[in-house]
Amino acid sequence: MRRLASLFTALAVASASCVLAPATTALAATCTVTTTSDGRPYVAPTATGAGTGKQVGFDNTHGSTAGAADWTIDGAMSDFACGLAGQGYSVEEIRAYPLTGTNLGAYNTVIIPEPNIPFTTAEEQALASYVASGKGLLMIADHYQADRNFNTWDATEVFNGWRRGHYQGTYTSPYYWYNGTATATTYTFNNEDDWMATNFGMRFHYNAMDMATGVTGFTAGNPSDADDPGILAASQTFNITSGVTSVSTHAGSTLAITDPTKAMGIVFPNKNNLVRWSSAQSNDPIALYTDSVGTPACSTATMGGRCEGAYVAIAKPNAGKVAAMGDSSAWEDATPRYKREDNGGTKTTHAGWSEVNNATLGINLVNWLATSDATVGIPTAQRQQASPEPYNVFTISEPLAEPWSTSSNAAYKWYDARTFNASSYKNTTLYGGGGGGTPDTTAPTVSLTAPAAGSTVSGTTTVSASASDNVGVTKVEFYLDGALQSTDTASPYSWSWDTTTASNASHSLTAKAYDAAGNVSTATAVSVTVSNTASGTANETFTGRVDATTTTQDFWIDVTATGTISLNLSWTTTANLNMYVYNPSGTQVASKSGGTSPLALTYSATTTGRYKIHITRSSGGSDYTLTASHPINPAVTAAYSQSGSLAAGGSMTYTLTVGATGTIDLKLSFPAGTDFDLYLLNSAGTTVASGASSTLNPETISYQVSGPGTYTVRVEAYSGSGAFTVSGYYPH
**Residue 633 backbone phi and psi in degrees, to 5:** -100, 115
- The arithmetic mean of pLDDT across residues 668-696, rounded, is 93
Per-residue buried b or exposed e for 58-68, using 16+ beta carbons within 10 Å of the residue's own CB: bbbbbbbbbbe
- The arithmetic mean of pLDDT across residues 227-235, rounded, is 93
Report the run of H or E that residue 361 belongs to, with start and end: helix 358-369
Residues 575 and 664 in one domain: no
Distance (Å, whole) CA 362 – CA 147: 24
Residues 486 and 567 in one domain: no
Neighbours of 279 (CB within 10 A): 12
Residues 470 and 336 in one domain: no
Position 502 scores a pLDDT of 86
What are 602-622's pLDDT values in tens digits?
Answer: 999 988 899 999 999 999 999
Residues 631 and 641 in one domain: no
Q: Is residue 419 part of a domain?
A: no
pLDDT band at 61 (very low <50, low <70, confident <90, very high): confident
pLDDT band at 586 (very low <50, low <70, confident <90, very high): very high
Is residue 165 predicted with pLDDT exceeding 70? Answer: no
Distance (Å, whole) CA 4 – CA 651: 91
Position 413 scores a pLDDT of 78
Whether 415 contacts 45, CB under 8 Å: no
CA 409 to chain centre: 11
More confident residue, 281 or 438: 281
Domain boundary residue, one of 571, 602, 635: 635
pLDDT band at 30 (very low <50, low <70, confident <90, very high): confident
- The arithmetic mean of pLDDT across residues 55-76, rounded, is 94
Residues 34 and 111 in one domain: yes
Whether 117 contacts 62, CB under 8 Å: yes
Our CA angle for 120, 122, 126, nearest 5°, is: 115
- Pairing mode of beta strands 483-488, 473-480: antiparallel
Residues 526 and 554 in one domain: no
Mean pLDDT value across the chain: 84
What are 296-310's pLDDT values in tens digits?
Answer: 445 555 678 888 889
Position 397 scores a pLDDT of 67
CA 481 to chain centre: 37
Residues 162 and 296 in one domain: yes
Whether 92 contacts 57, CB under 8 Å: yes
More confident residue, 4 or 281: 281
Residues 74 and 92 in one domain: yes
More confident residue, 407 or 383: 383
Position 29 scores a pLDDT of 52
Helix (H), strand (E), coil (C) string for 405-426: CCCCCCCCCCCCHHHCCCCCCC
DSSP 212: P
Distance (Å, whole) CA 312 – CA 314: 7
Q: Is residue 38 part of a domain?
A: yes
Position 301 scores a pLDDT of 57
- The arithmetic mean of pLDDT across residues 709-720, rounded, is 95
Report the run of H or E that residue 428 belongs to, with start and end: helix 428-431
More confident residue, 406 or 216: 216
Predicted TM-score of the model (pTM): 0.59
Q: Is residue 233 part of a domain?
A: yes
Reduced to 3 states, what is the DSSP secondary structure of residue 551?
coil
Q: Is residue 517 part of a domain?
A: yes
Position 222 scores a pLDDT of 87
DSSP 612: E
Domain boundary residue, one of 499, 530, 561: 530
Residues 195 and 274 in one domain: yes
Residue 319 sits in a domain of what CATH number?
3.40.50.880
More confident residue, 389 or 25: 389
Position 282 scores a pLDDT of 67
- The arithmetic mean of pLDDT across residues 350-363, rounded, is 96
E strand spans, 213-343: 255-257, 263-267, 274-276, 312-315, 321-325
Distance (Å, whole) CA 496 – CA 493: 10
Reduced to 3 states, what is the DSSP secondary structure of residue 451?
coil
Distance (Å, whole) CA 642 – CA 406: 53
Q: Is residue 427 part of a domain?
A: no
Task: Give the sheet arrangement for strand 460-468, strand by strand.
Answer: 445-450, 460-468, 493-498
Residues 540 and 525 in one domain: no
Whether 342 contacts 420, CB under 8 Å: yes
Position 298 scores a pLDDT of 55
Q: Which residues pair with 497 in a beta bridge?
A: 461
Helix (H), strand (E), coil (C) string for 80-139: HHHHHHCCCCEEEEECCCCCCHHHHCCCCEEEEECCCCCCCHHHHHHHHHHHHCCCEEEE
Is residue 428 predicted with pLDDT exceeding 50? Answer: no
Is residue 76 predicted with pLDDT exceeding 90? Answer: yes
Domain boundary residue, one of 576, 606, 635: 635
More confident residue, 330 or 12: 330
- The arithmetic mean of pLDDT across residues 13-34, rounded, is 50
Is residue 189 predicted with pLDDT exceeding 80? Answer: no
Residues 617 and 645 in one domain: no
Instruction: Calculate the alpha carbon distances from 390 to 23, 121, 141, 327, 656 in Å.
Output: 35, 22, 18, 20, 68
Q: Picking from 9-18, 257-266, 364-373, 578-587, which range would have the lowest pLDDT averaged per residue?
A: 9-18
Position 22 scores a pLDDT of 41
Is residue 435 predicted with pLDDT exceeding 50? Answer: no
More confident residue, 435 or 115: 115
The percentage of the chain sitting over the pLDDT mark of 90, rounded to a whole number, equals 58
Is residue 412 predicted with pLDDT exceeding 70? Answer: yes
Q: Picking from 117-121, 206-210, 551-555, which range would have the lowest pLDDT averaged per residue?
A: 117-121
**Residue 163 backbone phi and psi in degrees, to 5:** -90, 130
Instruction: Calculate the alpha carbon distances from 230 to 256, 300, 314, 502 in Å.
Output: 15, 18, 15, 74
Distance (Å, whole) CA 351 – CA 79: 9
Q: Where in the sequence is the domain holding 502, given as residue range(s)?
A: 445-530
pLDDT band at 14 (very low <50, low <70, confident <90, very high): very low
- The arithmetic mean of pLDDT across residues 165-181, rounded, is 39
Is residue 87 predicted with pLDDT exceeding 80? Answer: yes
More confident residue, 151 or 627: 627
- The arithmetic mean of pLDDT across residues 411-425, rounded, is 78
Cis preceding-peptide flag for 598 (omega within 30 of 0) = yes
Residue 601 sits in a domain of what CATH number?
2.60.120.380
Position 290 scores a pLDDT of 61
Residues 685 and 598 in one domain: no
Q: If 0-12 CB within 10 Å is exposed, 13-18 middle and 19+ buried, where does residue 527 land?
A: exposed
- The arithmetic mean of pLDDT across residues 137-165, rounded, is 88
- The arithmetic mean of pLDDT across residues 361-365, rounded, is 97
Per-residue buried b or exposed e for 291-325, using 16+ beta carbons within 10 Å of the residue's own CB: bebeeebbeebbbbbbbbbbbbbbbbbbebbbbbb
CA 688 to chain centre: 37
Position 175 scores a pLDDT of 33
Is residue 533 predicted with pLDDT exceeding 90? Answer: no
Q: Minimal CA–CA distance to 653: which of 715, 719, 721?
A: 715
Residues near 163 by beta carbon (within 8 Å), at least 6 away in sequence: 118, 152, 153, 157, 173, 187
Q: Minimal CA–CA distance to 185: which of 194, 175, 193?
A: 175
Q: What total of structural domains would you count in the chain?
A: 4
Position 395 scores a pLDDT of 62
Q: Is residue 54 part of a domain?
A: yes
- The arithmetic mean of pLDDT across residues 118-145, rounded, is 93
